[in-house]
């Protein structure tokens, strides 16, 4: 599969799709363009920036984007990351669905627990992207 434009979709574009966008940009070939968006954009969760920085990835310039803010019509591949919500529909585009639980979904009072949940999500997404790399070449 030749992928030139890769888009990660979620509902809020605040955690999973933001992690996926940053990780993919760090892992895929430079000629692959990567975006993320949500059907109801919110804001990037601060834990996303923390767990990406732990890997040396700077996401300070990232912001939540809506579906109209990314080139869905020219996407080679769309990956949806919703588990408990309904992901945005993308007719006419090749879609993979990775049902990954939202690390921001439950209110946790302990920040270390919250960060650990974001780390687990980051690592799962990174492993899935790494598994996809041979198919993108």
Domains plus CATH for the chain? 8-131 (3.40.50.2300)
pLDDT recorded at residue 73:
87
Separation CA 94–CA 57 (nearest Å) = 28
Q: CB 96: neighbour CB atoms within 10 A?
A: 13
Contact between 64 and 12 under an 8 Å Cβ cutoff? The reply is yes
pLDDT recorded at residue 48:
97
Structure-token pair, residue 65: 């984007």
Catalytic residues: 10, 82, 87
Q: What is the pTM of this model?
A: 0.93
pLDDT digits (tens), the chain, 137 positions: 778 899 999 989 999 999 999 999 999 989 999 999 999 999 999 999 999 999 999 999 999 999 999 998 889 999 999 887 677 767 778 889 999 999 987 676 788 889 999 999 999 999 999 999 887 76
């Amino acid at each position: 599969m030749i992928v030139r434009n890769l888009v990660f979709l979620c509902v809020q574009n605040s955690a999973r799709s933001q992690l996926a966008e940053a990780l993919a940009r760090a892992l895929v070939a430079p000629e692959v363009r990567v975006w993320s968006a949500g059907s109801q954009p919110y804001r990037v969760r601060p834990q996303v920036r923390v767990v990406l920085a732990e890997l040396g990835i700077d996401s300070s310039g990232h912001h939540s984007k809506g579906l109209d803010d990314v080139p869905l019509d020219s996407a080679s591949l769309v990956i949806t990351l919703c588990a408990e919500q309904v992901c945005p529909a993308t007719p006419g585009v090749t879609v993979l669905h990775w049902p990954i639980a939202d690390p921001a979904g439950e209110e946790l009072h302990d920040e270390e627990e919250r960060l650990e949940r974001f780390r687990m999500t980051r690592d799962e997404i990174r492993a899935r992207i790494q598994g996809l790399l041979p198919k993108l070449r």
